[in-house]
């Protein structure tokens, strides 16, 4: 049985929101019902969505997951327009900081249920308190260094916070798919379950967490997320500014046809 839908539940192209009678909200990333591909519209909508989710006190637990057997698998850079235009990047900067602050400000426990590829914005995932991963899940960053752009949007801040800086730096400079088990050894993933079982396990955990009173649930989240929230507030704006300059340099290099092949291939 579901509770009455809030007005924002149907407002987003790339998020399917459902909430059960206990207040467990499932946020499913998707593109037309299949695996989610990040684009400019999503970038803008996610800011609003997570703010609304955070402000809605009817949400008692939040579960992040993806549709079609994956989390987010790719990014459509072209949808952002000319990222070397300072006005375009100003919006990316402002939204990119705000969306992470908004997820951090969800003041109830957040659980991520990750299947398949978490290849883009796994920083959203790492803002969860607990990550349950399918045994076939892989983490990767296909959106930054691999295509010639500095990983400044929170991907380093969150991976550094949860996996340690050494692992994060090597992982982001030479991105390769990272298996769920390895992510667990690194302290990022809390539990690995068979593929297809992550959402069910997340719901079990949600039911456990719901046994505590409302203020306990809310204040536990507030306390746990505070150090990461402060790091986001301190680091991600600068990171996105550095990424913007990096993206502008990539665009310039592509125009001049003298730049490294990988970068050109990656973004073209």
217-256: contacts with a copy of itself (CB under 8 A): 218-220, 222-224, 226-231, 233-235, 237-239, 241-246, 248-250, 252-253
| Residue 96 binds to a copy of itself (criterion: CB under 8 A) | no
Task: Give the containing element (helix H, strand E) for 191.
Answer: strand 191-193
Choose which of 33, 165, 176, 194 interacts with a copy of itself (CB under 8 A). 165
| Residue 6 binds to a copy of itself (criterion: CB under 8 A) | no
CA distance 30 to 182: 26
Residue 108's CB is within 10 A of a number of other CB atoms, namely: 25
26-85: which residues touch a copy of itself (CB under 8 A)? Answer: 47-48, 51, 55, 57, 84-85
CB of 134 to a copy of itself, least distance (A): 17
Is the Cβ–Cβ distance between 2 and 20 less than 8 Å? Answer: yes
| Residue 91 binds to a copy of itself (criterion: CB under 8 A) | yes
Q: In Å, what is the CA distance from 174 to each residue of 30, 157, 224, 240?
A: 27, 17, 30, 20
Region from 8-16, 33-41, 73-81, 165-173 binding a copy of itself, contact rule CB under 8 A: 165-173
Size, binding site for a copy of itself by CB under 8 A: 94
CA distance 165 to 112: 22
Nearer to a copy of itself, 32 or 219 (CB): 219
> What are phi and psi for residue 21, nearest 5 degrees?
-65, -20
Nearer to a copy of itself, 74 or 169 (CB): 169
Choose which of 3, 18, 105, 182 interacts with a copy of itself (CB under 8 A). 105
| Residue 262 binds to a copy of itself (criterion: CB under 8 A) | yes
Residue 161's CB is within 10 A of a number of other CB atoms, namely: 20
Is the Cβ–Cβ distance between 235 and 123 less than 8 Å? Answer: no
């Amino acid at each position: 049985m579901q509770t009455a839908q809030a007005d924002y539940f149907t407002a987003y192209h790339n998020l399917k929101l459902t909430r059960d009678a206990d207040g467990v909200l499932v946020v499913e990333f998707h593109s037309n019902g299949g695996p989610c591909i990040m684009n400019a519209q999503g970038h803008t909508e996610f800011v609003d969505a997570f703010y609304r989710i955070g402000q809605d006190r009817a949400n008692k637990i939040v579960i992040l997951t993806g549709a079609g057997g994956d989390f987010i698998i790719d990014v459509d850079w072209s949808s952002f327009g000319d990222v070397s235009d300072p006005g375009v990047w100003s919006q990316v900067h402002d939204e990119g900081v705000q969306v992470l602050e908004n997820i951090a400000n969800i003041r109830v426990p957040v659980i991520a249920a990750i299947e398949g590829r978490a290849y883009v914005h796994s920083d959203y995932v790492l803002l969860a308190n607990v990550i349950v991963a399918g045994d076939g899940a892989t983490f990767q960053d296909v959106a930054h260094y691999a295509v010639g752009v500095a990983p400044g949007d929170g991907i380093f801040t969150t991976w550094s916070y949860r996996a340690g800086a050494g692992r994060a730096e090597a992982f982001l400079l030479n991105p390769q798919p990272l298996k769920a088990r390895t992510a667990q050894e690194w302290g990022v993933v809390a539990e690995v379950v068979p593929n297809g079982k992550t959402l069910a396990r997340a719901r079990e955990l949600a039911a456990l967490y719901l046994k505590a009173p409302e203020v306990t649930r809310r204040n536990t989240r507030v306390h746990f997320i505070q150090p990461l929230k402060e790091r986001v507030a301190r680091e991600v704006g600068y990171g996105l500014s550095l990424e913007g300059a990096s993206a502008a340099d990539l665009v310039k290099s592509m125009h001049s046809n003298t730049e490294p092949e990988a970068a050109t291939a990656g973004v073209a």
